[in-house]
Chains A and B, each alone.
Chain A
């Protein structure tokens, strides 16, 4: 099987997912043995790689007109398009502005704002068709490694539909919900090794909801002790509020 011509491309974001990939260190060199990694701006001097790509991995969400143009062009040029991290998958922190007055928010930061793009934030899947996603803010680079290695071997990688609680219990963490903390673990897609609860911090849903679940389920689990509005305020952080609404 020929190596997949691959590009890792970022739209507007913090580039933490690219950094997490780079953090693979020597293991990144294994990936470059299996994939024909043509474009990876954080490590490579190649400035342009217009495609076509066998595999395009896109982090960030579209904010500027150029971002939109680029995203649509990437879709045209790629066989497989994967959303990388919360911004691409859910909208990410930038989506918080959708839940308030975005023009007010723009004016708070800039005096001259007329020419600055200020669209509603969308995940890339709301703009173009995606073929899969690697969730998280940031991504778990071990999951990334497994995911792309399976793609390189012609497989169709899947992320198991388990809640964050599943791995949290395996790690024998004390339950934050039982301590009365608003942890989104029961309704959030696992695979992160429950890294936040393992560090005594609530799950804030950066990997998005489990299939077929919603925040209502969490409210039931909590016997209505937590206001849905407060839980949704947490889900705003990674742009997952709309995803956590009842399907």
Chain B
């Protein structure tokens, strides 16, 4: 039996699915990426370092902030720049805004809708206006953070190597803090909605890999950790994993010791859950998500718990910023030849940027590894195991179940190819 889904809706970018089963034996089950190659890494070669955050933001319209900031972090390493504490906190707040808006888009519009009759965010908005209004306002909260600090929600303008083109005022942050009270309540509404959905029972053990900050659940300074017990510095990450390109494939995939691994909200929960803020920790403890958990459908619930944590994190970070000087947000620096590798947690997992510059600040080498490029292999492995369970379903129901699993992963195909 051949199963083919030409165009998957409700994901960022373009992909399909192909499956091939012969007498119960899964010959093939994989995502087919249908995205064009924009060759972003090579477009940076020969350009000034200041163009890098501008161009790499355009890798993804859903998660531009993380590409922008990760590229800046890598370039600051290349130039030996130590950003100010205030700058790091502001970046963390912006990244929280990014993950909140991206998660809410995914949780509600792209994934949870699979569990309702209409399977469509816009129809659901008309059907359940009260819940949807709260969900939309929660997403607006994330977007407003990015807009307040970054100047715009899609493709932020203000971040630059060394600091900011323009910085927000303390009053701007005070406003975010005020809005956060409602956002916290709305995040509970979202968690309750997701908790009420009946997740398919499915498990496949995998390795979880995530960036683990020293004192934070998601944060700027840390190292890469694995559920198998190892850890490496961000500079060493590329040597730890294998990046490979199967013939004609436009995505370069990754594996660890020849096997697939997961890097997503579930991976973060497994490695960093002890650093969740109190309310999110409490919700996790009373939820159906018991760790360890190898059911990828729970990624959506994990994300919604993260949203609550990130609202709390933003409150805390703003309080910390309020007590600081705010005099020298920007760090002065000298352009020099150098190289830098940086990792931060994108909404979908580990994002790696690497740059080499000459003494005029011109980019001579660049490399980007996105979360989706890493998790596609894990998704394909899950699809292979999930398919036999749904083989007997009607064509429509089977397709729906496949899409449900794909949507749970929240793949960003635009990012994966870039």
Contact = CB atoms under 8 A, between A and B. Distances in A.
A199 B12 CA distance: 28
A142 B40 CA distance: 29
Interface residues of B, number: 68
B158 A201 contact: yes
Contacts of B103: none
A45 B5 CA distance: 13
Q: Which of A23, A26, A105, A233 has the most CB of B within 10 A?
A: A23
B396 interface: no
B37 A109 contact: yes
B46 A100 contact: yes
Interface in A1-33: 10-20, 22-23, 25-26, 28-29, 32
Q: Which of A37, A63, A106, A195 has the most CB of B within 10 A?
A: A63
Given A14-B61, A41-B9, 4 more contacts: A23-B143, A104-B42, A137-B58, A233-B47
Interface stretch (A74-82, A113-121, A158-166, A217-225): A113-121
A209 interface: no
B interface secondary structure, majority: loop
Interface string B34-52: 1111111111011100010
A232 interface: no
Given A16-B155, A46-B9, A29 B121 contact: no
A108 B121 contact: no
Nearest to A37: B122
Contacts of A204: 54
B151 A112 contact: no
A43 B373 CA distance: 23
Interface in B66-100: none
Interface string B322-346: 0000000000000000000000000
A20 to B, nearest CB: 5
A189 B359 CA distance: 35
Contact of A200 (B13, B62, B166): B166
A43 to B, nearest CB: 4
Nearest to B110: A42
Interface string A92-106: 111011001000111
Interface residues of A, number: 62
Interface in B353-376: none
B248 interface: yes
Contacts of A41: 9-11
B37 A14 contact: no
Given A29-B125, A137-B155, A138-B154, A44 B36 contact: no
Contacts of B157: 195-196, 199, 201
The 5 A-B residue pairs with the shortest CB-CB distance in the complex, in nearest-first order? A16-B61, A63-B36, A12-B36, A199-B151, A105-B42
Interface in A189-241: 195-196, 198-201, 204, 233, 237
A233 B158 CA distance: 21
Contact of A44 (B41, B122, B165, B248): B122
A64 B250 CA distance: 11
Contact of B36 (A15, A48, A96, A117): A117
Interface string B393-418: 00000000000000000000010000
B152 interface: yes
A111 interface: yes
